Amino acid sequence: MLIVDDNPDIIQSLKRYLSDHGLRISTAVDGKTMRAVLETGAIDLILLDIMMPGEDGLTLCRYVQDKYKIPVILLTALSDDSDKIVGLEMGADDYISKPFNPRVLLARLKAVLRRSHSEPTQTNQLDKEISSTTFDCWRLDVHQRELVGQDNLAIALSAAEFRLLQAFLQRPQIVLTRDQLLDLTHGREAKAFDRSIDNLISRLRRKVEIDPSEPKIIKTVWGGGYVLTSPVENS
């Protein structure tokens, strides 16, 4: 895994503790170093500090999700829930607040690693069986994780948006509660906020709906949750 933090004391203490618990650790002090590590090393998880000079952690999280799709846990001293929700919307899989208990951090790291290690098998099976999914006027390219419209223009999805859309496409015309969507997209270990699902759905609606203020594809079921109304075809 890769630790990205501009504080050398935090990097060294985390590296020592996590290495003692069997994790192979790489480190970076800024975005430039992080990119160099990602280009040359096999990284399966990134622990990324939000508050860094230059490129902050949220910007780097979006970069990682757009280019690498590697799981990211944000390390933050921020206490405002809205900042944490923004991080989850950027594609982060979890966040850890400073100061933290190293044992809690290790447990959260292992939880994200378990989920990420289980995803390739599911994805490989999906790749073999399903290369694209069509709904309404859209086609989801499963391999590229892109939405393709009738004009053949592709719209990129963040990792979080892709997971959310897949949850709906695998359960069309079924009402899914916020708790179910949290389980399907983050896992219960992530302890995400209920409102983060609402915000993520708003982001997805802006990409798939003609008028996001009057959604026809992903509808709200008052008191229940959300439902994908369109029939789904896989190919």
Q: What is the pLDDT of residues 73-121, one digit of tens each?
A: 988 886 666 666 777 777 788 888 888 899 989 988 888 887 665 544 3
Greater model confidence, 71 or 128:
71
Q: Is the peptide bond before 172 cis (omega within 30 degrees of 0)?
A: no
112-167 pLDDT, tens per residue? 887 665 544 344 444 445 678 999 999 999 888 899 999 999 998 887 788 889 98
User: What is the C-alpha end-to-end distance of the chain, expressed in Å?
Assistant: 35
Name every residue whose Cβ is closer than 8 Å to that of residue 107 and which is 6 or more positions away in sequence: none
153-to-89, 93, 141, 166, 228 alpha-carbon distances in Å: 23, 28, 12, 20, 22
Q: What percent of the chain has pLDDT over 90?
A: 36
pLDDT at residue 180, as a whole number: 79
pLDDT at residue 93, as a whole number: 82
- The domain spans of the chain are 2-121, 130-234
Which amino acid, residue 118?
S
CA angle 81, 82, 87 (to 5 degrees): 95
Whole-structure pTM value: 0.56
Domain 2-121, classified CATH 3.40.50.1370, yes or no: no
Q: What number does CATH give the domain 130-234?
A: 1.10.10.10
Predicted confidence (pLDDT) at residue 51 exceeds the cutoff of 50: yes
